[in-house]
Structure 1
Amino acid sequence: MKLQVNIQILHLSFLALLFFTLLLNTTLSSATYAATLSLLSAYLHLSLSCTICAFITIFYYLYTRPRQVFLLNYACYKPPTHRKCSYQVAENFVLQKGHFPQKTLDFMRNIYLNSGLGDETYGPPFIFEKEGVPTLNYAMQEAEEGIFSSIDALLSKTLVDPESIDIVIVTSGGFSPTPSLSSLIVNHYKLKPEVKTYNLSGMGCSSGVMSMDLAARILRGSRKVQNVLVVITESITLNWYSGDSRPMLVTNCIFRVGCAASMITNDPSHRRIAKMELVDSLRTHHGADDSAYKAAFQEEDDNGNNGISLTKDLIRVAAMNLREHIKIFAPRVLPLSQIVHYAYSVVAAKIAGDESKPVVPDFMAAFEHMCIHTGGKAVIENIARVLKLDDEVSEPARMTLNRFGNTSSSLVLYELAYFEAKERVKMGDRMWMLAFGTGFKVGSLVWKWLQDSRQEFDNPWNDCIQSYPFKAW
């Protein structure tokens, strides 16, 4: 922070010096100007010192200013067709392998039918095998299929040499094997020995946004690091719950297989081919509040079965913490007219003694598009309610949930692919990515599109985009 303040001071000093020089040049008469030059010549040392200081200031500012960060490209994993997990497939597996009592089956059936998921989502490998047991081997198979497929597609599109990858960031909330998933990538792609690796875990659905923000923070302040590979995945296999706790059974019904990879860079030569530039980001952590901390919680049930409990309080917590997040985020992105309108509503409510909440700013005045958290039907509806979004804005989230289910941390990139498949984004458009995660965390990324969106060969929506959107929910 201190460095940023010093840079700003130097920048202002340089601008003041430049302004003063131009002012002298335009206001002094030619005779006076000649006399001034004569005076400066008499004080040659002073003139040279001022010139050198100006050049040093310019150089220091250019060298130390934060670097621009670009999303070069991304790729989403699309499992093979035989891994589609329709309602019928899911029900057959639970009936044959689950050993659940009837009341538990009825509960899961009700959750599934009201979840917003369609019949085209994808399940993990183990549910299609004869034994149907979620083992470590099946978890590794699930991870390897998604990671290698998405990275292969990404490298083929970006033409980035694996040797030029400086950092690997892998996020997987509930699966952290040894060696790590980042080591798996280093081994498989034979990355250089000096590559740096990071593994993020336990961060839930927000970790996709968080990992891209981490990459950007590293890239903004570095001249040695240029390319960061971000891999966003989750393990459905080892998060399968076989007990009878209702808050833990929800994960069986809504989470599906998904993985995505992205290449983040600060190389200015890549600007002309990059998809987007990251212009702002915000992460807020609300874990100091007990209800927020325990809203989504991994624990054992009374019989010792591991599971992730999604409590009924989760929706309330998400809405409350989204409002807190917006209080910080809104002044940074909204136009002045919206900020003034909001401030006026707050003051007016207090003067009138009105207990009603202030007006919600119109975020569509700041963004052309939104990738909002696709955590579930109730979550999407609650975000739309809090932000006063119409169905057109929430459409990509609703359709992504229907087509791919809750893929956890990678969900925002599947939603991004929807925008591209529809070719709705134009150069210069601004997009807000918003995601929630266990802890409880809220993350926002603000992107500026550097080119018109286009449907690429590996877009996961290629075979079905004509069927979307549909009105049924």
Structure 2
Amino acid sequence: MAVMSRRRVIQLVLVGVVVFLVAPRLSWNLPGGLEKLGLQQSPAAVAVACWAAAVAAWAYAVSRPRPVYLVDLSGYVAGASHEASRAKTIAHFGRCGRFSDESMAFQKRMLERSGLGEQTHFPASLISVPVDMCLRTAREESHAVIFGVVDDLLRRARVAGGDVGVLIFNSSLLSPTPSFTSLIANRYGMRRDVVSHNLSGMGCSAGIIAIDLAKRLLQVHGLYVNLS
């Protein structure tokens, strides 16, 4: 069973108070046709009827789902030094000497079927010689992407970090401690009561989950700015 929020209870009480104060005055000006109903001699009945109508209208208004809009979006574009074709990538992995023939065959199939184009940008840790896959390079890559995207998005939307009420972050693999949401909230001076969710280890499909979560949170919390 749904529990009515404190804000809605206060709104309902205020509606009732206003109706009970205004309705008795209006009852004296009712058309003569309503005298047969006995309402002109009963201001309380008029107040109750008006209150019931007001509550019904209020309940209908608050029960409708709040619309959620995408105001702006931003994507990170790496430099030309990160660009590589599929053939160049496979050749580079082969020169590293860290992958077996079976692993190389799997990576080739994955690159061909995953939809990656001939101008895909890869992390520097994967296309460097030798391959440098460690926590340090993973953090450097994450910071470059996250800060680049958030800086651009806040600038284009003309929104300050303190105006953000909902923060959702999704990372397919890397999940450091402290979390990325803590990193973003502290860097951009977000409010202490920001609603944050850090999704990780769920693969690329978590992007759809994050969008749905953002929509639901905005419908619940009302007029908040969401950053996801």
Q: Normalising by structure 2, report the TM-score.
A: 0.77
Alignment correspondent of 2:176: 177
C-alpha displacement of 1:94: 1.0
Q: Deviations over 1:207-238 (max 9, x none)?
A: 11111111111111224x511110xxxxxxxx
Within 5 A, what are the aligned runs for 1:41-120? 41-63=40-62, 65-102=64-101, 104-113=103-112, 115-120=114-119
C-alpha displacement of 1:179: 0.9
Contact 1:86–1:120 under 8 Å retained in 2:
yes
Match for 1:136: what amino acid? L
Contact 1:168–1:198 under 8 Å retained in 2:
yes
Contact 1:125–1:141 under 8 Å retained in 2:
no
Structure whose CA Rg is larger: 2
User: Whole-Å Cα distance in 1 between the matches of residues 109 and 44 of structure 2?
Assistant: 84
Within 5 A, what are the aligned runs for 1:189-200? 189-200=188-199
Say if 1:41 and 1:155 are closer, same or farther in 2 by CA, change over 3 A: same
Contact 1:167–1:195 under 8 Å retained in 2:
yes
Contact 2:175–2:201 under 8 Å retained in 1:
no
Alignment equivalent of 1:36, drawn from 27, 34, 37: 34
2:40 alignment partner, SS class: helix
C-alpha displacement of 1:147: 1.0
Match for 2:187: what amino acid? H
Which structure has the highest strand share of the two? 1
Alignment correspondent of 1:130: 129
Say if 1:98 and 1:190 are closer, same or farther in 2 by CA, change over 3 A: farther
Which structure has the highest helix share of the two? 2
1:213 alignment partner, SS class: helix
Say if 1:44 and 1:194 are closer, same or farther in 2 by CA, change over 3 A: closer
Contact 1:162–1:191 under 8 Å retained in 2:
yes
Contact 2:166–2:217 under 8 Å retained in 1:
no
Q: Deviations over 1:102-126 (max 9, x none)?
A: 4543454355345543211111121
Q: Normalising by structure 1, report the TM-score.
A: 0.39
Alignment correspondent of 1:160: 159
RMSD: 2.4
The answer for unaligned runs of 5 or more in structure 2 is 5-30
Q: Deviations over 1:267-322 (max 9, x none)?
A: xxxxxxxxxxxxxxxxxxxxxxxxxxxxxxxxxxxxxxxxxxxxxxxxxxxxxxxx
1:193 alignment partner, SS class: coil
Within 5 A, what are the aligned runs for 1:402-417? none
User: Whole-Å Cα distance in 1 between the matches of residues 115 and 216 of structure 2?
Assistant: 35
What percent of counterpart residues are identical? 28
User: Whole-Å Cα distance in 2 between the matches of residues 110 and 69 of structure 1?
Assistant: 39
Q: Deviations over 1:52-80 (max 9, x none)?
A: 22223323443454322111111111111
Say if 1:51 and 1:114 are closer, same or farther in 2 by CA, change over 3 A: closer
Match for 1:77: what amino acid? Y
Say if 1:101 and 1:218 are closer, same or farther in 2 by CA, change over 3 A: closer
Alignment correspondent of 1:234: none
Q: Deviations over 1:23-70 (max 9, x none)?
A: xxxxxxxxxx73324532123321221112222332344345432211
Contact 1:168–1:197 under 8 Å retained in 2:
yes
User: Whole-Å Cα distance in 1 between the matches of residues 162 and 79 of structure 2?
Assistant: 29
C-alpha displacement of 1:88: 3.6
User: Whole-Å Cα distance in 1 between the matches of residues 102 and 54 of structure 2?
Assistant: 76
Say if 1:185 and 1:98 are closer, same or farther in 2 by CA, change over 3 A: farther
2:167 alignment partner, SS class: strand
> Which structure is richer in relative contact order (CA contacts within 8 A, separation 6 or more)?
1
